[in-house]
Structure 1
């Protein structure tokens, strides 16, 4: 077996870890090209969300999360990684180029987080009433900082402001059939390879607004069981100083490090991102942090059980067909 090429079994492990990353509506909008010890992470233009993600920012965040998982899996196999984010402006679909090489100085933190990849799922159910320990909050802030991002915890007035924006987005969506149709294409029903199946939606909130996103669009999904969610949710905003494509990919790396750290500490996470899908509300969310920068994710953390995971396509489907 040539040292010039990564072993096929290792490539399978690396890519299986990468595609376990979260993506908006579980669209899995990435593909990979493998040449020797270099793995390129690219956008899959066939899996865009033109109504809800017209700029592709959510796709780039998802690709960053996949890149972080690949780095963790590489460490678990005894490799180190070097990477560049959005390295060539003339190739907008190329979001990360990763060099995978054997190492004698493994990153123990990434190796540890690799074990959390199959355990991480979006927690769409209610959380316990107890606030998160301060040590957990600090650990999640540090996880974001390690990837060049900021995680800002919101106090009660800012949480209420976010919930008011949720009402605003719901009112806007009433007049936007494109967004509803797009979501219905990816969410609900039986899903065996992508999208969010009805069984993974979790319960509906018995109060409104709530710090949980109800993705249901189909009549049966809107009739699912209702339950009470926490009155004082733990919300945090993930942001970066700039908002270029590389910054959005970096936000994805930070997001996944935060999510895997939370999983390791027994903390669930879900997303309340609908205000970020409108430019004016996205700016308002960032102002709530009292920090300069650009908001990328609104994350709800809690203590409870995660919802059922969503399926992934076979690894072979993600390989760039133009590569040997």
Structure 2
């Protein structure tokens, strides 16, 4: 086997892992530039940016951060240490250098094995509470990536569901937003088979993409969490994406499902409101967590399109 072919196979394996990351409306807005067998650059794919709902590029950066985390894990499982430099210049989101060879930690092998099984689930969850040790492990996962995962109590969750409903109502009055959403929920992005059912009753704890499949009654008390960062700049957004994916892989290890309720954050970004500083950090993701049935995956881009 030629050296060039060996490098190509190794790079493709890394790109497949990176491409399994979650992203806003499944846009998968990343590209990778392979320099040689020792370095790769992560770049934004601005053709897959959502300029109406994400004018700052915050969600794009969070999405790319998730892909970066998967890439780091894949490099580590390949026996190398990933030396990452984030935002080295205006064009590049991160440079990943494949450093010295080193034994692979069991934790990295476990996270890597979970990458294909992570799903965004818009199905109803059971009323079973997530055990405290699992919540603690998820908090630790976020902190390892310099973010914070805050689990909301019952009152906080009810308030957040109200905020999400109000934001959803405001968003659906914006024709440009609706056009952008439709472009990524018909044929590409989030296809109809992963939209989830329509909610029976007043409780609707999933995002409405306009085309539900059937109807169902959701859990009466959704378990919600907010992922925050200390500040609210592009570097924080990349860190939030890495923290999010690490949290989701830990959740997958314990069969915990997740979906997102980011309408309040989208509305904030669209109105260009600056998030006020507060001690618990700046919200970057709002998620619903719980135990749900297996769900199909959303389609992924071919590695030839991102690498």
Q: If the TM-score is normalised by the length of the shorter chain, which range does it land in?
A: over 0.9
CA deviation profile, 1:237-289 (whole Å, cap 9, x unmatched): 001001111110010000000001100111111111111112289989989xx
Structure 2 stretches lacking a partner, 5+ long: none
- 1:152–1:237 contact (8 Å) kept in structure 2: yes
Question: What corresponds to 2:119 in structure 1?
Answer: 121
Moved more, 249-258 or 165-174: 165-174
State the partner residue of 1:168.
Answer: 166
Residue in 2 that maps onto 1:146: 144
Q: 1:215 to 1:174 in 2, by over 3 A?
A: closer
Match of 2:32 in 1: 32
Q: Which deviations, in whole Å up to 9, do the C-alpha atoms of 1:14-69 show, x marking residues without a partner?
A: 00000110111111101011112111110011111111111110000010000000
C-alpha displacement of 1:208: 2.9
* 1:101 partner SS: strand
Number of residue pairs the alignment of both structures matches: 305
Distance 2:274 2:232 in 1: 15
Q: How far did residue 236 of structure 1 move?
A: 0.4
Quick check: 1:272 aligned with 2:261? Answer: yes
Whole-Å separation in 2 of the counterparts to 1:120 and 1:302: 13
Is contact 2:171–2:267 with CA below 8 Å preserved after alignment? Answer: no
Deviation, structure 1 residue 152 = 0.3
| Deviation string, structure 1 residues 150-187 (Cα, Å, up to 9, x no partner) | 00000011111111112211221232011111111010
Q: Could you tell me which residue of structure 1 aligns to residue 244 of structure 2? A: 255
**Native 8 Å contact 1:18 1:68 kept in 2:** yes
Structure 1 residues 183-218: Cα deviation after superposition (integer angstroms, max 9, x where no partner): 110103xx4xx41111111212113342211222xx
SS at match of 1:181: helix
Is 1:196–2:190 an aligned residue pair? Answer: yes
Cα distance in 1, alignment partners of residues 18 and 156 from structure 2: 34
What is the match of residue 206 of structure 1? 200
The answer to whether the 8 A contact 1:162-1:285 is kept is no
CA distance in 2, matches of 1:253, 1:316: 23
Distance apart, 1:131 and its partner CA: 0.8
Whether the aligned pair in 2 keeps the contact of 1:64 and 1:251 (CA below 8 Å) is: yes
Structure 1: distance between partners of 2:274 and 2:164: 12
Cα 1:306–1:57, aligned 2, differ >3 Å: closer, same or farther?
Answer: farther
Change in Cα spacing, 1:42 to 1:166, as seen in structure 2 (3 Å) is same
1:294 aligns with 2:282: yes
Aligned-pair RMSD on alpha carbons? 2.3
Gapped regions of structure 1 (runs ≥ 5): 320-324
Contact 1:240 1:294 in 2 (8 A): yes
TM-score by length of 1: 0.88
Q: Is contact 1:276–1:285 with CA below 8 Å preserved after alignment? A: no
Shift of 1:113: 0.2
TM normalised by structure 2 equals: 0.93
Matched, 1:132 2:121: no
